[in-house]
Amino acid sequence: MGRVAAIGECMIELCEHPDGRITRAFGGDTLNTAIYLARLGTAIDYITALGDDPWSAEMLAAWQAEGVGTDAVVRLEGRLPGLYIIQTDANGERRFSYWRDRAPARDLFALPETPSLCLELGRYHHIYLSGVSLSLYGAAGRSVLLAALGKARQAGANIAFDTNFRPRGWPERDAARAAYASMLAMADIVFASVEDLSLLYGPDWQPVLDQHWDQREIVLKLEHPACRLRAGGTTVEIGADAVAPVIDTTAAGDSFAAAYLAARLEGKPPTAAARAGHALARVVVQHRGAILPRAAWPRAELAAAGLSKGMALDVVV
């Protein structure tokens, strides 16, 4: 199956509860996916930059305890990780507020360590990143990243891209559209959503996806509980079971991507992978925060969805 690299940013996560309490954890879209992949038995490294502060050290220890490789994490002296607060409404829909302009992850592709890091990307069999990842680095950093991804793909790496679009992360839509065009042309698997594409391209988003529809494996999350899957020249809609109660939709898409990729890496067909994605996301949205508590890990549901590895979370103490 080969080793996977996930590229992005982890931040300090503050979760605001209905009674006003705030609890602290860590999260970030690709980091969430990396942890869920590790729990599902996938060999994965997280590629990012952190500071030399206690919170960064705590993050590293937590990732290592989850089985996520950290050898590719760069530490920057005197820097602090970003921070975000999650607030949820009565329906569990989340709102994020960020403090991250000086986060070390933003400089990942403009450091003395960057050339060796780009070379390392060529040694992975699979690389996962998101639209949030692209928004971190600025035009120059994105150029370096995209060139490295192109070389990694030429060396045999498969690339998975989640369109996860956050308007506040981009100074202008044209820059985002250019970056997304490059990734959509390069990615082997695309996780998209009607919400993301509508925010980025407006109501006329369908032609953007259509030009890649026959060349890529595309999972399009719809506005109702289902995804439209295009793979192998066929299109099918895979529905998701109703969920009640929905407590917090944070990391719903991240966990879906993890279970989907884990299933595909096990050799499962795309339809089975989509069902596995729904199975994990359904449980994640019934808990607060990005990372599902270990006691709530849905072993039976994932086994029923056809995922054969990672059910016992053996790597974690």
Catalytic annotation, residues: 254
The reply to whether omega before 167 is within 30° of 0 (cis) is no
Type of residue found at 133: S
Q: How far apart are CA 224 and CA 219, in angstroms?
A: 14
Q: Are 164 and 132 in contact (CB under 8 A)?
A: yes
d(CA 9, CA 133): 7
**Lateral strand order in the sheet of 22-27:** 22-27, 11-16, 83-88, 94-99
Cα 308 from Cα 303, distance rounded (Å): 6
The structure tokens listed for 191 are 């996780």
